[in-house]
Amino acid sequence: MSPSRTDDVDYQDYDTPAPKVAYDINVPYMPASGEYERRIKDRTEFPEYLPVWEKGIWFDEVEEFTYHDPALRADKRMPHLFSEGVKANLITPKMGTVLTGVKLETLTSEAKDELALLISERKVVCCREQPEFLRKGPAFQVEFMEHFGVLSRQPVTGAVKGFPEFHIIHRDGNKKEIADFFKHKTTSTIWHHDVSYERQPPGYVMLGILACPDVGGDTVIADMSEAYNRLSPAFQGMINQMQAVHTSEKLIAHAKASKGIVRSNAVESIHPLVRVHPVTRERALFTNMEWPKEYLGLKEEESQVVVKFLMDHVRMGHDFQARVHWEKHSVVMFDNRTTLHTATVDYENAEQARHLFRLAAMTEVPISVADAERGIRR
């Protein structure tokens, strides 16, 4: 996660020992020399999306805001989204839709509302062949995603210059770092919700692929509503009442130990372990391997048992997962409220780059089962 030593980077000295491996091998990597600029810019179609770490930027914690989900405005027939020539194919029977023939850059406000509804219902929507949308540039894409919520900003990772809403993932020829990572780790997978430590975590997330290997680097997504439905009523009854503390403190500490840039203090929020979707009213597990640090009401040994069971349940639940294969110029949007996802680093010997951006629109304060039963909409 350490950025390169360029004019855009503000290095600080910390007493914490440097970590042995990356916090997350999927996050941006930059060599500590001008090799990055000389060699990499010529190897990407979108050099303006290469990550930078601008100094002198600080973000305060996002204050709570009123949110109205655009999916609740949508025409359920989706006539504006499914205009002439737009076709849908299912990834799995219950989750995931691939759209072809759609042009994201031309969508009206009504069509975006319908896209939000489709994402809420199908959980992940993959739009193939979006070169014009990607070429519209960062300002256009930020405005597009602001239709879906308030955009989160990146506390430590590389972003597009002038656009801290972008989280940039870029890997090109990083075989040694990946090999070092696997000397310490058995897998690169981290099943997570994006930035669930926020008081109002992202609901709608966009991933835009700028370059990808011909084979490998897929994203795997798990349906957390179906994962919840598979549990017994007795177990559901227990976890319906539980809450977890989500925090970014580990991420911030790792960035400091790596002598990387830090743009915010650690953020901590308490969320229900089971949340209710404001559009579909589905219940979904809302826990992951990255951000929760404590489960309120349980002793440490008890929470370890519960969390291990739930994460094993997700990892082994191939019958409620979907594997999204990346193709050039694809754009994927998913519902961060009802899914977990993980990247797969299975391309360490490939010479092809994996380059994508993420924009994450923060939505409602998570709705607990008790709140939903009382009719409280957040």
Segment 211-265, tens digit of pLDDT: 888 888 889 999 999 999 999 999 999 999 999 999 999 989 888 887 788 899 9
For residues 169 and 42, the model is more confident at 169
Question: Is the pLDDT assigned to residue 36 strictly greater than 60?
Answer: no
Question: Is the pLDDT assigned to residue 14 strictly greater than 50?
Answer: no
Residue 146 backbone phi and psi in degrees, to 5: -65, -15
Lowest mean pLDDT among 292-301, 334-343, 349-358, 360-369: 349-358
Provide the pLDDT for residue 27.
61
Neighbouring C-alpha atoms within 13 Å toward the C-beta of 47: 8
CB 51 within 8 A of CB 28: yes
For residues 156 and 105, the model is more confident at 105
Burial of 29 (0-12, 13-18, 19+ CB in 10 A): buried
Provide the pLDDT for residue 189.
81
CA 192, chain centre distance (Å): 8
292-296 β-sheet, strand order:
268-272, 243-247, 292-296
Residue that the structure tokens 């739930």 belong to: 310
- For the chain, what is the mean pLDDT? 87
Provide the pLDDT for residue 88.
97
Contacts of residue 42, Cβ cutoff 8 Å, sequence gap at least 6: none
Residue 357 backbone phi and psi in degrees, to 5: -120, 155
Provide the pLDDT for residue 351.
64
Give the C-alpha separation, 319 to 141, whole Å.
33
Reported as a pLDDT band with limits 50, 70 and 90, residue 104 is very high
Q: Give the range with max mean pLDDT: 19-23, 51-55, 191-195, 250-254.
A: 191-195
Question: Is the pLDDT assigned to residue 165 strictly greater than 90?
Answer: yes
DSSP 360: E
Closest among 338, 249, 322, 357 to 288, alpha carbons compared: 338
Reported as a pLDDT band with limits 50, 70 and 90, residue 378 is low
Please report the domains of the chain, with CATH numbers, ordered by start residue.
35-373 (3.60.130.10)
| CA quadruple 83, 86, 89, 90: dihedral sign | negative
Closest among 245, 338, 356, 337 to 298, alpha carbons compared: 245
Provide the pLDDT for residue 279.
97
Provide the pLDDT for residue 170.
82
β partners of residue 342:
220
Question: Is the pLDDT assigned to residue 174 strictly greater than 90?
Answer: no
Vertex 347: Cα angle to 341 and 350 (nearest 5): 150
For residues 67 and 172, the model is more confident at 67
Provide the pLDDT for residue 10.
36
CA 327, chain centre distance (Å): 18
Is the entire prediction scored with pTM above 0.85? yes
Question: Is the pLDDT assigned to residue 322 strictly greater than 70?
Answer: yes
Lowest mean pLDDT among 36-40, 75-79, 169-173, 301-305: 36-40
Question: Is the pLDDT assigned to residue 82 strictly greater than 90?
Answer: yes
Contacts of residue 133, Cβ cutoff 8 Å, sequence gap at least 6: 103, 104, 105, 141, 144, 208, 331
Provide the pLDDT for residue 350.
56
CA 145, chain centre distance (Å): 14
Closest among 326, 359, 336, 361 to 141, alpha carbons compared: 359
Provide the pLDDT for residue 131.
96
Residue 169 CA: distances (Å) to CA of 49, 86, 210, 295, 370: 9, 29, 10, 31, 38
For residues 333 and 19, the model is more confident at 333
Segment 266-315, tens digit of pLDDT: 999 999 999 999 999 999 999 998 999 999 989 999 999 999 999 999 99
Provide the pLDDT for residue 3.
32
Give the C-alpha separation, 184 to 254, whole Å.
16
Give the C-alpha separation, 302 to 225, whole Å.
23
Closest among 13, 14, 6, 63 to 32, alpha carbons compared: 6
For residues 4 and 67, the model is more confident at 67
Provide the pLDDT for residue 248.
93
Q: How would you classify the pairing of strands 97-100 and 124-127?
A: parallel
* Percent share of the chain, pLDDT over 90: 65
Residue 193, SS3? coil
Give the C-alpha separation, 352 to 79, whole Å.
39
Provide the pLDDT for residue 187.
81
Residue 28 backbone phi and psi in degrees, to 5: -60, 145
Give the C-alpha separation, 118 to 114, whole Å.
6
Provide the pLDDT for residue 173.
64
Residue 268 backbone phi and psi in degrees, to 5: -135, 135
Give the C-alpha separation, 136 to 357, whole Å.
14
Vertex 88: Cα angle to 85 and 94 (nearest 5): 170
Please spell the DSSP secondary structure of 240-297, one letter per residue.
TT-EEEEE-HHHHHHHHHTT----S---EEEEESEEE-TTT--EEE---SSSEEEEET
Q: Give the range with max mean pLDDT: 23-32, 191-200, 344-353.
A: 191-200
